[in-house]
Amino acid sequence: MKLLEDKILAEGRALNSSTLKVDSFINHQVDPVLMDAIGREFACHFKNAGVTKVLTIESSGIAPAVYTAMHLNVPMIILKKQTSKILNGNVAQTNITSFTKGTSYELTLSLDYVNPSDTVLIIDDFLANGEAATGAVRLAKAAGAKIAGIGILIEKSFQKGRQKLLDQGYDVYSLARIARLDEGIIEFVK
């Protein structure tokens, strides 16, 4: 998606060979016009996949997921990273390791909102090693849902995540695929 690639080049900062900061438009400050365009793009790509719910992991995936859900006219479900006193009982949980933070956490889905009649679209901000997306898939499957596909804003194509998800048979649609990062260098897949 040229709009997202242009925004990454204009405002993103490659800190090293694995870290891209996009906090001015995705992570801390959110560009709603860009998120609307991203939501439209994902909705267009997955429009015939029978999506009944959009799933995302808190917190950076929320904005693109809610716009995607809006354009698909379906609910959006947030997978929680933190345990909660009010989120108990009918839940599915799985452990995942964050590439960015280098920590593991328990991801939780309330089974009150996803069931075997659902076909879910997973939206996430980054794809590196595929751990977060794979964790979201595990939770959706624990609820008995089908997976329509996985929408990614920014894919680090030089890491193994895409292939891991493709090998599992999922439609992976990434809006910006980065071939190479280094300090001050951002190169996209051509």
For 60, other C-beta atoms within 10 Å of its C-beta total 20
Question: Is 145 known as a binding-site position?
Answer: no
Question: Is 130 known as a binding-site position?
Answer: yes
DSSP string, 24-47: IIIISS--HHHHHHHHHHHHHHTT
Helices and strands of the chain, counted as H and E runs = 5, 10
Question: Is 27 known as a binding-site position?
Answer: yes
Which CATH architecture best describes the domain 32-177? 3-Layer(aba) Sandwich (3.40)
**102, 159, 109: which is closest to 136 by C-alpha?**
109
- pTM for this predicted structure: 0.94
Confidence of residue 104 (pLDDT cuts 50, 70, 90): confident
Question: Is 128 known as a binding-site position?
Answer: yes
Quick: pLDDT tens for 109-164: 999 999 999 999 999 999 999 999 999 999 999 999 999 999 999 999 999 999 99
Give domain limits for the chain. 32-177
Q: What number is the average pLDDT over the span 74-103? A: 81
Quick: pLDDT tens for 87-97: 667 899 998 88
pLDDT at 85 over 80: no
